[in-house]
């Protein structure tokens, strides 16, 4: 049996603490080290879960490369490590990729836990097809970069999923309208939280609804894939 430690990829709630799994709570209590984006935020989570204080190592976008080697040393010494992000699943638009690659290259056992994510609930509640989808994550913060990426994926028939910040929502929706056309879409805001909201309609209808509002919170945009014109009829059958 290997004397090396285990690397756990452990999702944390994106808003509602009740979304933590029994297994995730147990592993957080058992591991030797927790690698986290924000030690204060993870400390608050453990406090709410009534888990005693753990050894934290900061692990975020700006130190990911160096920390991966440090965590590997701990794993090689037989210590177990849980990688968590501030919210959601490690590696999905959050740090996690480098330590996973490093662990694979060094024969470290990796145990990924299922758990909270905003992309899939936004998709399933959008009213758009769920059989095939394409997750793009965050588009560029620059219009030129956004438009270039949208041009690259506009021919996909898959339902498209994006993350977006509130202050760029209208800019991104305008670029989507220009490049993708006036497709059906859904903006999911503040998933699992008190002010959870789903705004469904065509992109132009959603733009109108948000045009005079101050948008806050985490956002997922779900957009209809390209529909073949032959034998297909585009429908706008969202409930208002």
Residues 121-179 pLDDT 10s: 999 999 999 999 999 999 999 999 999 999 999 999 999 999 999 999 999 999 999 99
Q: How far apart are CA 183 and CA 187, in angstroms?
A: 13
Residue 80 has pLDDT above 50, yes or no: yes
CB 11 within 8 A of CB 24: yes
Do 105 and 154 fall within a single domain?
Answer: no
- Number of domains forming the structure of the chain: 2
Residue 174 maps to which CATH number?
Answer: 3.30.950.10
Structure confidence at residue 2 as a pLDDT band (50, 70, 90): low
Do 166 and 76 fall within a single domain?
Answer: no
Tokens found for residue 136: 């793009």
Of 163 and 214, more confident:
163
Do 217 and 129 fall within a single domain?
Answer: yes
Residue 84 maps to which CATH number?
Answer: 3.40.1010.10
What is the number of H-type helices and E-type strands within the chain?
A: 8, 10
Residue 104 has pLDDT above 90, yes or no: yes
CB 115 within 8 A of CB 94: no
Do 133 and 218 fall within a single domain?
Answer: yes
Look at residue 65 in the predicted model and tell me its pLDDT: 78
Which pLDDT tens digit goes with each residue over 188-210? 999 999 999 999 999 999 999 99
Do 132 and 160 fall within a single domain?
Answer: yes
Which residue among 112, 147, 163 closes a domain? 112
Which pLDDT tens digit goes with each residue over 63-75? 877 889 999 999 9
CB atoms within 10 A of CB 226: 16
Q: Which domain holds residue 206?
A: 119-223
The pLDDT mean for the chain works out to: 92
Which residue among 63, 93, 112 closes a domain? 112
Residue 193 CB-density burial (10 A; 0-12 exposed, 13-18 middle, 19+ buried): middle
Do 71 and 107 fall within a single domain?
Answer: yes
């Amino acid at each position: 049996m290997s004397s090396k430690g285990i690397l756990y990829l452990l999702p944390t709630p994106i808003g509602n603490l009740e979304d933590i799994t029994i297994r995730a709570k147990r592993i957080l209590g058992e591991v030797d080290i927790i690698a986290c984006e924000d030690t204060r935020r993870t400390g608050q989570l453990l406090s709410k879960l009534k888990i005693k204080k753990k050894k934290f190592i900061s692990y975020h976008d700006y130190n990911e490369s160096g920390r991966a080697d440090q965590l590997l040393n701990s794993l090689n010494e037989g210590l177990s490590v849980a990688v968590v992000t501030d919210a959601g699943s490690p590696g999905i638009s959050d740090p996690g990729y480098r330590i996973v690659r490093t662990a694979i290259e060094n024969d470290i056992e990796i145990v990924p836990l299922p758990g909270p994510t905003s992309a899939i609930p936004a998709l399933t509640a959008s009213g758009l097809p769920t059989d095939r989808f394409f997750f793009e994550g965050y588009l560029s913060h620059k219009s030129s970069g956004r438009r270039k990426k949208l041009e690259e994926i506009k021919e996909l028939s898959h339902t498209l999923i994006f993350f977006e910040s509130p202050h760029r929502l209208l800019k991104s929706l305008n670029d989507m309208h220009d490049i993708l056309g006036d497709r059906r879409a859904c903006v999911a805001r503040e998933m699992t939280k008190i002010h959870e909201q789903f705004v469904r309609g065509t992109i132009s209808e959603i733009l109108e609804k948000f045009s005079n509002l101050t948008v806050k919170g985490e956002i997922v945009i779900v957009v209809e894939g390209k529909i073949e014109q032959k034998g297909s009829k585009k429908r706008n059958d969202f409930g208002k």
